[in-house]
Amino acid sequence: MALGCNLDKVVLQNKNHGFEKSLAGWSTYIAPSMAADAIIKTVHSEGAKKGQHHLFMRLPANAKDNQSHFIHIGQYLDLKKQKRYRFSVDVKWANPENTLPSAIISIWAKGSDATYFGKDVWIDKGDGFKHFEFEFMPQENEKVFCYLSLLTHQEDYDATDIYVDEFKIEEMGLVFVEADPRPAYKNLLKNTTFDEGLKHWLTTSNNPHRVDHLNSYVLKEVGNPKLRFELPAASDSDYLNNTWAGVYQNLKLYAGNNYQLKVMIDRVVPDSTQYPTIVNIYAYKPKSDLSDSRWLGSVDYKFNKAEPHLYSKRLTPLETADYHIVLRIFGWGNNGNPFKLNIDNIKVERIE
C-alpha cells in the first residue's frame, strides 16, 4: 500500500473552527418541518474540547426521513485539485441514555459535481469527545462544501443531541502519485456484461425485516444478460432504512491516478417519472491496520429517468489499495417506494 503526500506546511482552510466567534463563517440548515424543535447553536462551556465554546446540535425525535428531515453545518471552501486535504472534527454525544444508544453523524466533503468524500460515523458513549477525520482530494479547482449532518434513527422516541468542536479543513500538501502499470482506457473489471452470471462478483445483503422481493440476480435475456435489482414497497418511509442488496468486485487502484466509473442503468419500475430512485454506486476501501475506510464517487445516485442512461463519475484514490467497486440498492432514501432496475456494461478505466 502507498499512502502519503509531498508534505508542505499544513494550512488551515476554514474559519472559526472552534466556534469561539459563535457561528461566524458557518452555513447552517434546519429543515422547515423541524424549525421549532431542531437546534444549532454555540454554547459557552468549560467542557469544550478546546477554548471556551463548542457547538450544540439537536435533531428532534420527530425526524424520520433522512432525505428531508435533517440539519447540518458546514463551510464552502475554494480548494485545489492535486492537493490533499484533511477533514477533522471532535464530537461528543450528549444523550447516551436514549432508547437506541447511538448517534449517526455524517462528515462529508461535497464537490461541485456532487462527488462526495467522507463517511458516516457512529458514537455510542457520552464519556468524552471522539475524534474523526479523513483525507480527500478535489476533482477540480472548485468550491467544496465541507459539512457535518445528523442522521435520524431514534424511531420517534428521543432527540439526538451532540456537541461539536475543533472542526477543521487543512491543506496537507501535494497528492502522492504512484504509477499504474496497466494501460489507460482499458476496462479493469471482469465480467461486466454478466455473460458469466455473477462470476468475479461478490454479493452482499442485509434484510433485518425479512421482506420478500428484495433481489439481486442476473436477468438472462437472450444475448443480453443484465444485473437486476429489485426493492419492494414499504408502508413506512423509513421501514427499509437498513435494508440493502448489492454486488461488488475487488479492484486495485493506484494513488493519485484518475479513473472513470461508468454504468448503464435502466429503471423498469416505475416506467415513468412517478418518483425518484436512489442507487449506490461507488468505490470503497475497507479499513486496514494502516488506514481508515474510504469512499470514492457520489455514493448515492439519485435519478428520475424512465429510459436507459449512462452514469459516469471520476474516481481519484489517495492511496494504493484494493477497493470494492460497489453496486447496491438501499431502502434508505427511497421512502418506501418500490423499484426494479437493470444494470449493464460496467467499466472502470484509468484516464489520462
For the residues 29-41, what does the mean pLDDT come to? 93
**Shared-domain flag, residues 25 and 136:** yes
Segment 272-312, tens digit of pLDDT: 999 999 999 999 999 888 888 888 988 889 999 989 999 99
What integer is the mean pLDDT of 326-350?
Answer: 94
In a domain, 181, yes or no: no
Task: Determine the pLDDT at residue 1.
Answer: 43
Mean pLDDT, the chain, rounded, equals 91
In this structure, is residue 216 part of a structural domain?
yes
Does the pLDDT at position 142 exceed 70?
yes
Considering only CA atoms, give the Rg of the chain.
Answer: 21
Q: Are residue 273 and residue 139 in the same domain, yes or no? A: no
d(CA 316, CA 256): 6
Report angle CA 343, 261, 80 to the nearest 5 degrees: 145
Here the CATH number for the domain that contains residue 17 is 2.60.120.260
3-state secondary structure of 33: helix
Rounded to an integer, the average pLDDT of 70-88 is 95
Alpha-carbon span 134 to 89, nearest angstrom:
10
Provide mean pLDDT across the span 179-197.
97
8 and 55, same domain (yes or no): yes
Both 22 and 156 in a single domain?
Answer: yes
Neighbours of 70 (CB within 10 A): 19
pLDDT-derived band at 120 (thresholds 50, 70, 90) equals confident
Instruction: Let me know if 318 is exposed, middle or buried by CB neighbors in 10 A (0-12, 13-18, 19+).
Output: buried
Would residue 186 count as lying in a domain?
A: no
Domain limit, last residue, from 130, 157, 175: 175
* Domains: count for the chain: 2
Mean pLDDT over 54-64 rounds to 89
Question: pLDDT by residue (tens digit) across 202-245?
Answer: 999 999 999 999 999 999 877 789 999 999 999 887 789 889 99
**Residue range(s) defining the domain that contains residue 43:** 2-175
Given 175, 210, 241, the domain boundary residue is 175
Residue 326 lies in a domain: yes
Tell the burial category of 157 from Cβ atoms under 10 Å away from its Cβ (0-12, 13-18, 19+): exposed
> Of 156, 175, 194, at which residue does a domain stop?
175
pLDDT value of residue 153: 66
Q: Which of 129, 132, 134, 152 is nearest to 54 (CA)?
A: 129
Q: Residue 154: its pLDDT value, please?
A: 60
105 and 222, same domain (yes or no): no
Cβ-proximal residues to 289 (8 Å cutoff; 6+ apart), any chain:
none
In a domain, 171, yes or no: yes
